[in-house]
Structure 1
Amino acid sequence: MEIYTPRTYISQSKLEEHSGVSQGRYTLGLGQEAMAVTGDAEDVNSMALTVTHALLEKYKIDPNTVGRLEVGTETLVDKSKSTKTVLMDLFPNNTDIEGATVINACYGGTAALLNAFNWVESDAWDGRYAIVVAVDIATYARGPARPTCGAGAVAVLVGRNSPLALVDPRERATHASNVYDFFKPDHSVEYPVVDGALSQVCYYRALEDCYTKFCNKVDALNGVDQSSQGGSKDGDHFDADSADYFVFHAPYNKLVQKSYGRMHFVDARRKHARKLEGKNLFAEEKKAEEDDESDSPIAKEYLTKPIEDTYSDKALEGTLKNVSKSSYNTRLTDANAASKIVGNTYTASVFFGLASLVDKVGSRGELTSGKTAVVFSYGSGALATMYRLHIRDPTQSANETIGQGRIFTIDEMVKNLNIDQRLASREQVHPQELDLALETRARMHRGGAPYSPVYPTNGRMFPGTYYLNGIDSKWRRSYSRVPLDSEPEPEGTSTHLAPPMVLRLAKREALSTPVTGVLEVLTKSVSGTALDKYADAKARVACVITGTSAGMPYGDEIGKVFDLPISKNW
């Protein structure tokens, strides 16, 4: 596995201060610590290029040994041409690669992974690797959802000789329904239409449905009868304490905490249902079950109450938090570590959780053969799947071909991921940069072509990062890579990210370089108060000549970026 997130980020506690909300609104209320932020120099194509190239380099994968490449994303830059086709530049001598781009909110990456699993286990498999890329830039309009932005990408190498294995493909369950909790019907903007309250309920419904089906399937595979009449003990049934670890889709960490509590609630209801079905228990066994149930901190009334009536019950929510707290700390804390400081990454979120689990637990030497991790992926609309991965020690196999005989280990993954150090090397920027970046991205999204990004690259991005060069007059995007020997500016020494403003010539005078004529500000994204914060940084604003002015004489200057000093007299 390989991860990528932009080098610049915002502290959630600083964002609380900047937004004027109560202390803890985002850090405690959402359970988040930071979020990645990027401007117009990165898009999903560039981030997918970055993470895929890094995967190939770090694990020394010959591009010719890849036979399937599929991308999951919901941050579309083109309604026809897929991100997968852009990635083909990394495979110049290999055109025989199956796969496309899969779309369904945050679920696309998981759909791509299941496709890869199925391909590797099918008769169509030719011995080559599959690569799955999950990549997104999470953006929201101003409002309560904006603190749940983020950006990131994860690339996963899939083959038969893996330390994380889907041993039995029957150990999974899916939920599919038609709901409008989160969707993007307006193609003129990046922002989604969100029903926050409904989205949380839909997440709960999908989780509970997947979890119940998953438990039943695992019990059946293990020969455990679902009713008390079959003679199976409660300890035989799969429950929220059965797996060593859980990994959840994490738009924000507080939702994961609440959702894991709901799994314990489902366990209590399933146990109660089995008790009611038991007709032939010995008296002492029946009495023991009744005593056990009477000791449960979950009030008996909740065990038979329609589950839809429990979603907004704060008293129950508090009880479930206490019931699941110890198990949560043991089974989910490590998986949630990265997402808490990267933010929401949509399709990549659940994969960041898996990478974080490998990095944290693996570095302690505790992710050993025989342990299991249950993964839950959710995408609005809605699609969700729960499946189980088994940790194992791969062995050489005589029937594996085209590079599949190579052995990958958890230790190698930990060494290459190195998540803590990589995230610690990021640059913290002022909370104002979030609004400025999103305003810039919004203008790029609706501004037409050609377009040249105004955000900085070298010195502000990690070495090896791909970035958007520009969009030409035919809407074709081109990309470059930050040199591997590039030195990022140390935190605290670099200027703020340029607060972009779009300008135009107010008078139709000849366009020259540098720009002459009278310019007027079209978008005043920097307020007077915010401007004061940039005064000590010799701030300059990147300007792009657009519209009618771009078609004037000297048109070959179209799309070039000009620097003008910021003046408080604007």
Structure 2
Amino acid sequence: MKIGIDKLGFYAPHLYVDMNDLAKERGIDPGKFTIGLGQDEMAVPPITQDPVSLAANAAEQILDREDKDAIDLVIFGTESGVDHSKSAAVYVHQLLGLNPKARSVEMKQACYGATAGIQMAKGHIALHPDKKVLILASDIARYGLNTPGESTQGAGAVAILVSASPRLLELEKESTYYTEDIMDFWRPVYSSTAFVDGKYSNEQYIAFFQKVWKDYQEQTGRSLEDFAAIAFHLPYTKMGWKALRTVMEDAPEEVQERLKNNYQISTKYNRNVGNIYTGSLYLSLISLLENQDDLKEGDTIGLYSYGSGAVGEFLSGTLQSDFKEHLQTAAHQAMFENRECISVAEYEKVFEEELPTDGSEKKLNIDEDPAKICLAGVKDHIRSYAVK
């Protein structure tokens, strides 16, 4: 039985700031952002968008009534959840009108959460092949104004529908994973922003990739020549390339060129969104599938997932027949085209607007947010959402 990704959806806020503008305002050479990090634009979430609404908007675009009735498991991977107790999945379950006879849970392990959800989904579908699983990867990467991590912020969500007989990508059984307790990136429960040891995190990202890739080779007997492309978790778009090039030295030149070219294509969307934590690997996959015309049925795609703290995994999948017909390319391109570029001053104003933390009431103006699903306000410590 085939099990894999049947549909993929993505949503980002309608506001963004140009990284050239941000660099100039901060007195930094723009090339440090656009070339050094590989980032052109950074999504800016208005106060009317949080991880719940972002995820609901991503899923809403791909699910039909048949999907909603068949989904009996919702897994929400995030590291910027809105509640320490109630899962973000339960909110989205209600907003989308899913089958009430379903499990809904939230998973956390930095940027790895959605991958863990996918592996759980595979086991669930193996036992219940007539059902479907909705994986949500939604985050707002937030470090603070004028901080070293500011240029690697972002916001967005990816929705992944896992089923038997997938129309996009059959997920293969083999995968390799590795866990080690390290402190490269973390956010204590008392802090609204993350702490990061940037150099150390980069080193560990690469080291974990080398470990899981070596294990994958030994387990499967495969080499780089067997892959049409490899998509990476991308805290910034140059990061994956730093890892990939460490294992390419012995590959034939044409293989190196193919993987390098497809890697660049896989970063297109991420360059214009920024870091979305749990969803960044799967945004990279979406970018690859929607922007590379040379991919074909039977091509093998590698996926490297990394969550600081840290867990790494290498998994793979095989493209299905007519997969291009089941992508949301036009919708995603329209979303990018309709976004609004704001000034650095406007970005700072949006960034500093926050919800109350004392239980007081705050109603939000959702008329300026074009999203179908928005955060409408908070009262008595309870968030309320609106579906337009």
Distance 1:417 1:169 in 2: 32
Distance 1:156 1:436 in 2: 33
Displacement of 1:435 after TM fit? Answer: 2.6
Corresponding residue for residue 281 of structure 1: none
CA contact 1:2–1:417 (8 Å) conserved in 2: no
Matches within 5 A, 1:92-111: 92=97, 94-111=99-116
Match of 2:71 among 43, 50, 66: 66
Is structure 2 residue 358 aligned with structure 1 residue 452?
A: no
Corresponding residue for residue 4 of structure 2: none
Displacement of 1:62 after TM fit? Answer: 4.3
What code does the residue aligned with 2:173 have?
P
Aligned CA distance change for structure 1 residues 148 and 325 (closer, same or farther; 3 Å): farther
Corresponding residue for residue 233 of structure 2: 249
CA contact 2:228–2:258 (8 Å) conserved in 1: no
Corresponding residue for residue 398 of structure 1: none
Corresponding residue for residue 278 of structure 2: 347
Q: Give the 3-state SS of the residue equivalent to 1:154 in structure 2.
A: strand
The alignment-based identity, stated in percent, is: 25
Post-superposition CA distance 1:62-82 (Å, at most 9, x none): 422112111100002110000
Aligned CA distance change for structure 1 residues 418 and 263 (closer, same or farther; 3 Å): farther
Is structure 2 residue 52 aligned with structure 1 residue 146?
A: no
CA contact 1:6–1:461 (8 Å) conserved in 2: no
Corresponding residue for residue 307 of structure 2: 379
Q: Which sections of structure 1, spanning at least 5 residues, go unmatched?
A: 220-237, 269-295, 297-321, 394-408, 484-570
Distance 1:127 1:378 in 2: 31
CA contact 2:87–2:106 (8 Å) conserved in 1: yes
Displacement of 1:325 after TM fit? Answer: 6.9
What code does the residue aligned with 2:240 have?
V
CA contact 1:3–1:417 (8 Å) conserved in 2: no
Displacement of 1:23 after TM fit? Answer: 3.0
CA contact 2:169–2:320 (8 Å) conserved in 1: yes
Distance 2:171 2:106 in 1: 26
Displacement of 1:212 after TM fit? Answer: 0.5
Is structure 2 residue 71 aligned with structure 1 residue 49?
A: no
CA contact 1:260–1:324 (8 Å) conserved in 2: no
Post-superposition CA distance 1:499-521 (Å, at most 9, x none): xxxxxxxxxxxxxxxxxxxxxxx
Displacement of 1:165 after TM fit? Answer: 3.6
Match of 1:175 among 154, 178, 192: 178
Displacement of 1:177 after TM fit? Answer: 0.7
Post-superposition CA distance 1:390-436 (Å, at most 9, x none): 0122xxxxxxxxxxxxxxx4233334554333212211001223332
Displacement of 1:453 after TM fit? Answer: 5.4
CA contact 1:105–1:379 (8 Å) conserved in 2: yes
Q: TM-score, normalised by structure 2?
A: 0.91
What is the CA RMSD across the aligned residues, in angstroms?
Answer: 2.2
Aligned length, in residue pairs = 380
Aligned CA distance change for structure 1 residues 325 and 145 (closer, same or farther; 3 Å): farther
Is structure 2 residue 9 aligned with structure 1 residue 78?
A: no
Aligned CA distance change for structure 1 residues 414 and 62 (closer, same or farther; 3 Å): closer
Matches within 5 A, 1:196-207: 196-207=198-209
Matches within 5 A, 1:60-459: 60-90=65-95, 92=97, 94-121=99-126, 123=127, 125=128, 127-141=130-144, 142-166=146-170, 168-170=172-174, 172-187=175-190, 189-219=191-221, 238-264=222-248, 326-361=257-292, 364=293, 366-393=294-321, 409-415=322-328, 418-441=331-354, 444=355, 447-452=357-362, 456-459=365-368
Aligned CA distance change for structure 1 residues 69 and 427 (closer, same or farther; 3 Å): same
What code does the residue aligned with 1:175 have?
Y
Q: Give the 3-state SS of the residue equivalent to 2:100 in structure 1.
A: coil
Aligned CA distance change for structure 1 residues 131 and 217 (closer, same or farther; 3 Å): same
Q: TM-score, normalised by structure 1?
A: 0.63
Aligned CA distance change for structure 1 residues 329 and 93 (closer, same or farther; 3 Å): closer
What code does the residue aligned with 2:362 have?
S
Q: Which sections of structure 2, spanning at least 5 residues, go unmatched?
A: 1-7
Displacement of 1:164 after TM fit? Answer: 3.4
Aligned CA distance change for structure 1 residues 351 and 6 (closer, same or farther; 3 Å): same
CA contact 1:356–1:419 (8 Å) conserved in 2: no
CA contact 2:231–2:281 (8 Å) conserved in 1: yes
CA contact 2:299–2:319 (8 Å) conserved in 1: yes
Is structure 2 residue 384 aligned with structure 1 residue 478?
A: yes
Higher relative contact order, structure no. (Cα contacts within 8 Å, ≥ 6 residues apart): 2
Displacement of 1:166 after TM fit? Answer: 3.8
